[in-house]
């Protein structure tokens, strides 16, 4: 069962981890690593894992992070993707 495979991966690699740093990927690294002209917010975990949101599972561009965090003026917060020219 494919779903069990992915569930086991999440359980083994992500459950119980702690976010130790969160920062937007800089434009040069975004281009170098992924060929993207957008910069996503990356989450760094205590075990060395880095989570980088992508627009899709083929890595076609950077992705935003939707949350259920409530903000008085904005409603639910979405951490955005930045577009900074690197050329």
Does 14 map to a domain? no
Does 60 map to a domain? yes
Counting Cβ atoms within 10 Å, is residue 38 exposed (0-12), middle (13-18) or buried (19+)?
buried
Does 25 map to a domain? yes
Does 13 map to a domain? no
Q: How far apart are CA 62 and CA 39, in angstroms?
A: 6
Asked if 61 and 36 count as a contact pair (C-beta separation under 8 A), the reply is yes
Structural domain range at position 31:
19-79
Does 71 map to a domain? yes
Does 7 map to a domain? no
Task: Work out how many domains the chain is built from and give that number.
Answer: 1
Percent of the chain with pLDDT strictly greater than 90: 82
Q: Which of 29-38, 41-50, 63-72, 78-87 has the lowest mean pLDDT?
A: 78-87
- State the residue for tokens 């951490």: 79
Q: What is the pTM of this model?
A: 0.85
Residues 22-31 pLDDT 10s:
999 999 999 9
Does 84 map to a domain? no
């Amino acid at each position: 069962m494919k779903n069990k495979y992915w569930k086991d991966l999440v359980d083994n690699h992500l459950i119980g981890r702690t976010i130790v740093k969160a920062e937007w990927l800089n434009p040069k690294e975004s281009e170098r690593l992924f060929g993207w002209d957008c910069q996503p917010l990356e989450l760094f975990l205590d075990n060395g894992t880095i989570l980088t949101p992508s627009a899709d599972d083929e890595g076609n561009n950077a992705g935003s992070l939707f949350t259920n965090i409530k903000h008085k003026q904005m409603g639910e917060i979405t951490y955005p993707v930045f577009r900074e020219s690197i050329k």
